[in-house]
Amino acid sequence: MDTNVTRDGGPLTGYRIVDLSQVLSGPAATMLLADQGAEVIKVEPLTGDITRKLGVGGDAMSTFFLNANRGKRGIALDIKTKEGSEVVSRLIKTADVLVQNFRPGVMDKLGFGLDSVRALRDDIIYVSISGFGDQGPYANKRVYDPVVQALSGLTEIQADAEDGRPRMVRTVIPDKTTALTAAQAITAALLGRARTGIGQHVEIAMLNATIAYLWPEGMVNQTLVDDDREPVFGQPVKELIFKTQDGYITTGAMSDKEWDGLCRALDKPEWIIDPRFKTTQLRFKNAQERLAATAAIIATKTNEEWLARLDRFAVPCAPVLSRTEMLTHPQVVADDIIREYEQPGLGRVRQPRSGAKFHGVAETEPPVAPLLGQHNAEVLSDLGYSQVEIDRFAATKVISG
Amino acid sequence: MDTNVTRDGGPLTGYRIVDLSQVLSGPAATMLLADQGAEVIKVEPLTGDITRKLGVGGDAMSTFFLNANRGKRGIALDIKTKEGSEVVSRLIKTADVLVQNFRPGVMDKLGFGLDSVRALRDDIIYVSISGFGDQGPYANKRVYDPVVQALSGLTEIQADAEDGRPRMVRTVIPDKTTALTAAQAITAALLGRARTGIGQHVEIAMLNATIAYLWPEGMVNQTLVDDDREPVFGQPVKELIFKTQDGYITTGAMSDKEWDGLCRALDKPEWIIDPRFKTTQLRFKNAQERLAATAAIIATKTNEEWLARLDRFAVPCAPVLSRTEMLTHPQVVADDIIREYEQPGLGRVRQPRSGAKFHGVAETEPPVAPLLGQHNAEVLSDLGYSQVEIDRFAATKVISG
């Protein structure tokens, strides 16, 4: 048992984040920080974050909204009114971090540009998340995830091997990678401020974040300036999916030892000394032949039979799971990745633990997402507003009723 | 001009990270922290990180190695010798963070399990990156990226619309998402330590990190416990790639206003009042018809003609770029995303800026990656070893020669 632990809400305990962002790139970033103990106050327009109504869910919120906003408190106000703007100003005075993902220029129009916010709180970390930063021909263009996939080279990476047609990846890599990049950058800026006393302006552009994410193995052929190569078929990840009698598995061998095990598992010991497959280089060179022959054998037994055999010979392997199957896979269950609890406005929900486990952090209450304006009275009261003022704001539609 | 800035090497300046990790999930995490000013000392075996020889590159290193190890110093030693182990021990005493991505149990065998390391430095942040954590049936299985893609549900998300066959994403999402997750968690743990004085044990499992990454929009149909839905066709990202006369573009309209613009750009004003397409819901319902008709029109002009027209009507759009085209796209150039410099052992190279921009951080020397054992003498000398000892270590193969 590890005794060298903290017993608190997580490493970001004690920091307050005011979050004006909507949709995904900002909200998913601050959700991760809320998971780690930060106090996140989400400021929504009176109509709510547009994802409250996106797809599956109820009137109060969609599952999409929950999945990017758990563990936050929420207020809803009209930032364009004098009183609403004043509420945001007072909130900023109490905050360590301000996060926003408006297009360049919008924060200035709202009266919350960098200098105005610094005047309210001079050591605040001011976070600007955008599609393309504030320079260049795309700075003011509308951005959706596919736009960044197309510009970053990701759709070429995913191109069809047969005809070279570019393809999208069907999960929003630019948005979510930007969120993780922003969460790390905000945390780093807080760490830097603890040393220097200075709150940084931190800018995260989706295109930049996506290119940096793709780069390590995705751009190995673009890294040498004077030696560009045609990259389409240069990816380390091959389509290692094999159909069995009753499903799909993945398996593969990198080292000679794993290849030896794979040959035995496939009942093809003769392949171990086959001149076509003797070294990693030769196995790569003769990949088509090797994979076709492997596929033909794997088609003859069930998932369960193959996974047991491959495990016995210590060959990397796994079943190809649907998302619904994933939920109850023994490894997901054993590592306690998914938690169930009641979400007001939605019912019983599942949420995954965020990616890193910190030892010694206390179990928290279920991290529910706020109903629209749920914490209006509580947050405004903390900021010094009287009940009379709060009631008047609700009556005059400065805040949600 | 922003005057409220620091003039140093970045927010992680002053922290020392000892990095025993190899390949990608650990190295890419510590590279990001090195980009932000941390001092990262990479400890390699005498044969080097196995990615030094992977794919494109020279004898000293591959582009893959550079892409996950820029900006670090490197030493190479045999950790299994008494003297090599002692060097690592002394290094740990000077470190804020220890990062490793061995399989569970290996660090204990090497004499650097959690308790042993705590005995050397009690407030160290001990980071364990693994495929599956140390519990459950997969804990000791070998892990490659495709295994996690298959288990996490990602291959179902990417499944062919036509026949439902699962597909891999051809960039290593589990490895790279784990790296970003780890970088954020390490930074958070440093921030937590600044408050509590306690160094955490931080564990990052690839399967957990990947599930958390996919969840926000990828698991909207798995979020409600009592309302599971068949998810295959439920993705917000459609295949919005259109062939033009001379290439491919992406375009799409979410709001009514964008749809109006798109209809005009396509010279189909009658679609604005077409009953099939009047609302977002109807456009979604009649997506097949709508996309097929759109594709037929887009096929009749060039990329340049379409992008100009779509821009004129404020419709989100972009060219679909190859990775090589991406390098010189005006937006990438304008935002100064890619830097060129000389990398010893490789020649002139390109590297992208990491995803977040911190204002006021000084321009640094080009962040080169270390040659194998390049900083042996320097690091050992700092640890108090004499030149005689260093020479003896090199002669007896405790360190690289």
Residues A266-315 pLDDT 10s: 999 999 999 999 988 888 888 889 999 999 999 999 999 999 999 999 99
pLDDT band at B284 (very low <50, low <70, confident <90, very high): confident
- The minimum CA-CA distance between B86 and chain A, rounded to whole Å, is 24
On whether any CB of chain B is under 8 Å from the CB of A178, the answer is: yes
Tell if the CB–CB gap between B150 and A250 is shorter than 8 Å.
yes
Which of A121-130, A361-370, B90-99 has the least mean pLDDT? Answer: A361-370
Contact assessment for residue B74 and residue B41, using Cβ atoms and an 8 Å cutoff: yes
Q: Do A171 and B218 touch (CB under 8 A)?
A: yes
Which one, of B383, B380, B386, B388, lies nearest residue B77 by Cα? B380
Say whether the ipTM exceeds 0.90. yes
Burial class (CB in 10 A: 0-12, 13-18, 19+), A292: exposed
Residue pointed to by tokens 């299985």 = B141
Is it the case that residue A176 has pLDDT exceeding 50? yes
- Spatial separation of the C-alpha atoms in residues A247 and A255, rounded to whole Å: 26
Which tokens go with B126?
A: 């001990």
Answer whether B72 touches A (CB < 8 Å): no
Q: Residue B242 half-sphere exposure, CB side, CA atoms within 13 Å? A: 27
- The one-character DSSP state at B9 is S
Residue of A nearest to B66 (CA): A216
- Is B132 near chain A, with CB under 8 Å? yes
* Interval B96-124: pLDDT, tens: 999 999 999 999 999 999 999 999 999 99
- What is the arithmetic mean of pLDDT over A335-359? 93
The shortest C-alpha distance from B7 to chain A (Å) reads 10
Are residues A341 and A198 both part of a single domain? yes
What are the chain A neighbours of B299 within 8 Å (beta carbons)?
none
- Domain boundary residue among A290, A319, A348? A319
Q: Decide which of A79 and B221 is more confident.
A: A79
Q: Is the minimum CB–CB distance between A136 and chain B shorter than 8 Å?
A: yes
* Cβ pair B195:A14 closer than 8 A: yes
Rounded Cα–Cα distance for residues A136 and A151 (Å)? 14
pLDDT of residue A228: 59
Q: Are residues B376 and B308 in the same domain?
A: no
Question: What is the predicted pLDDT for the residue at B58?
Answer: 85
Nearest to B222 among A24, A235, A323 (CB): A323
Give the pLDDT band (50/70/90) at residue B54: confident
Q: For residue B362, is pLDDT > 80?
A: no
Chain A: closest CA distance from residue B237 (Å)? 5
Last residue of a domain, one of A319, A352, A374: A319
Residue holding tokens 């995830």?
A145
Q: Which of residues 1-60 of A touch B (CB under 8 A)?
A: 2, 4-6, 8, 10-14, 24, 28, 32, 36, 54-57
Q: What is residue A226's predicted lDDT score, i.e. its pLDDT?
A: 81
Whether residues B302 and B340 share a domain: the answer is: no
The candidate with the shortest Cα–Cα distance to B166, out of B150, B148, B145, is B150
* B239 touches A: beta carbon within 8 Å: yes
Is residue B131 within 8 A of residue B178, CB to CB? The reply is no
* pLDDT in the model for residue A265: 97
pLDDT tens, position by position, B232-262: 444 444 578 999 999 999 999 988 999 999 9
Q: Would you state the pLDDT for residue A1?
A: 31
DSSP state of B370: P
* B2 has pLDDT over 70: no
**To the nearest whole angstrom, how far is the Cα of A219 from the nearest Cα of chain B?**
7
For residue A254, pLDDT over 80 is answered with yes
Structural domain includes residue A9: no
Give the nearest partner residue to A240 out of B55, B146, B209, using CB atoms: B146
A 270-299 residues with CB below 8 A of B?
none
**Is B71 contained in some domain?**
yes
pLDDT at res. B142:
86
- Domain assignment of residue B116, yes or no: yes
Is the domain of A76 the same as that of A124? yes
Q: Quick one: how far is CA A175 from the chain centroid? A: 7
Q: Does B304 share its domain with B366?
A: no
Residue A93 CA neighbour count, 13 Å, CB half: 10
- For A352, which residue in chain B has the nearest alpha carbon? B212
- The residues pairing with B103 across neighbouring beta strands, listed in sequence order, are none
In CATH, what number is assigned to the domain containing residue B89? Answer: 3.40.50.10540
Nearest-by-Cβ selection for A171 from B237, B349, B350? B237
Per-residue pLDDT tens over the stretch B302-312: 999 999 999 99
Give the model's pLDDT for residue A105.
Answer: 93
Chain B residues in contact with A54 by the CB 8 A cut-off are 236
Domain count, chain A: 2
Q: Which residues contact A373 (CB under 8 A, 6 or more apart)?
A: A44, A74, A75, A76, A77, A399, A400, A401
- What is the pLDDT averaged over residues A41-70? 94
Q: Are residues A200 and A84 in the same domain?
A: yes
Lowest mean pLDDT among A109-113, A120-124, B33-37, B56-60: B56-60
pLDDT the model gives residue B246: 96
How many angstroms separate the most distant Cα atoms in chain B? 86
Closest CA to A39 of A14, A11, A58: A14
A143 or A21, which is more confident? A21
pLDDT of the residue at A288: 87
Answer whether residue A3 is part of any domain.
no
Contact B217 A24 (CB under 8 A): yes
- Across the interface, of A133, A194, A252, the residue whose CB is closest to B335 is A133
Q: Are residues A49 and A107 located together in one domain of the fold?
A: yes
Average pLDDT estimate for A171-176:
96
Q: Does A259 touch chain B (CB under 8 A)?
A: no
Calculate how close chain A gets to B164, using CA atoms only, in Å: 11
| Test mutation, B219, B232, B243, chain A, max A CBs within 10 A | B219
Give the pLDDT of residue A85. Answer: 98
For residue A292, the distance in angstroms to the closest alpha carbon of chain B comes to 16
Q: Which of B205, B235, B349 sits opposite A170 (nearest CB)?
A: B235
Average per-residue pLDDT for chain B:
92
Pairing verdict, β B39-44 and A248-251: unpaired
Residue B203 at interface with chain A, using a CB cutoff of 8 Å = yes
Question: Is the Cβ pair A6, B198 closer than 8 Å?
Answer: yes
- A6 → chain B, closest CA residue: B198
In a domain, B118, yes or no: yes
Contact residues for B62 (Cβ-Cβ < 8 A; gap 6+): A220, B51, B52, B53, B54, B55, B56
Percent of chain B with pLDDT over 70: 95
Q: Do A4 and B122 touch (CB under 8 A)?
A: yes
Which of A228-242, B108-122, B384-398 shows the lowest mean pLDDT across its residues? A228-242
Tell if the CB–CB gap between A250 and B153 is shorter than 8 Å: no
Best mutation target among B250, B285, B310 (most A Cβ atoms within 10 Å) is B250
Domain that holds residue B298: 248-319
A188/B192 touch (CB, cutoff 8 Å), yes or no: no
B contact residues 350-369, partner A, Cβ 8 Å cutoff: 350-360
Residues of B in contact with A352 (CB under 8 A): 208, 211-212, 215, 219
Residue B229 scores a pLDDT above 70: no
Average pLDDT over residues A216-222: 92
Predicted confidence (pLDDT) at residue A229 exceeds the cutoff of 60 = no
Q: Is A11 within the bounds of a domain?
A: no
- Per CB-CB distance under 8 Å, the chain B contacts of A176 are 213, 216
Judgement on whether residues B295 and B387 belong to the same structural domain of the protein: no
Tokens of B379: 């690091």
Q: Does A229 touch chain B (CB under 8 A)?
A: yes
Same domain as B279, residue B343: no
Confidence of residue A348 (pLDDT cuts 50, 70, 90): very high
Cβ neighbours of residue B101 under 8 Å, at least 6 residues apart? B21, B22, B23, B25, B26, B128, B129, B130
- Contact across the interface for A225 and B347, Cβ inside 8 Å: yes
Q: Are A344 and A42 in contact (CB under 8 A)?
A: no
pLDDT in tens, A101-142: 999 999 999 999 999 999 999 999 999 999 999 899 999 988
CATH number at residue A288: 3.30.1540.10
Residue A349 domain-assigned (yes or no): yes
- Are the beta carbons of B55 and A234 separated by less than 8 Å? yes
Residue A324 lies in a domain: no
Spatial separation of the C-alpha atoms in residues B76 and B63, rounded to whole Å: 19
Residues 6+ apart with CB under 8 A from A328: none
Mean pLDDT of chain A: 92
Closest CA to A136 of A101, A159, A104: A104
Which one of B151, B194, B212 has the shortest CB-CB distance to A194? B194
Question: How high is the pLDDT of residue A115?
Answer: 97
Task: Reduce the DSSP state of residue B129 to 3 states and report it.
Answer: strand
- A323, B205: Cβ pair inside 8 Å? no
Contact B153 A322 (CB under 8 A): yes
User: Average pLDDT in the B207-234 region?
Assistant: 82
Same domain, residue pair B201 and B133: yes
Q: Provide the pLDDT confidence category of residue A236 given band limits of 50, 70 and 90.
A: very low
Contacts with B299 (C-beta within 8 Å, 6 or more apart), sequence order:
B242, B243, B244, B245
> Residue A162's pLDDT is what?
74
Give me the phi and psi of A129, to 5 degrees please: -105, 130
Answer whether residue A232 shows pLDDT above 90: no
Q: In this complex, which of B225, B346, B351 lies closest to A349 when CB atoms are compared?
A: B225
Angle in degrees, CA B155, B158, B161, rounded to 5? 125
User: In whole angstroms, what is the distance from residue B105 CA to residue B381 CA?
Assistant: 31
Residue in the structure block whose two tokens are 């996919």: B214
- A207 & A266 share domain: no
Gap between the Cα atoms of B338 and A215, Å rounded? 11
Whether residue B125 sits in one domain with residue B31:
yes
Q: Is A176 on the interface with B (CB under 8 A)?
A: yes
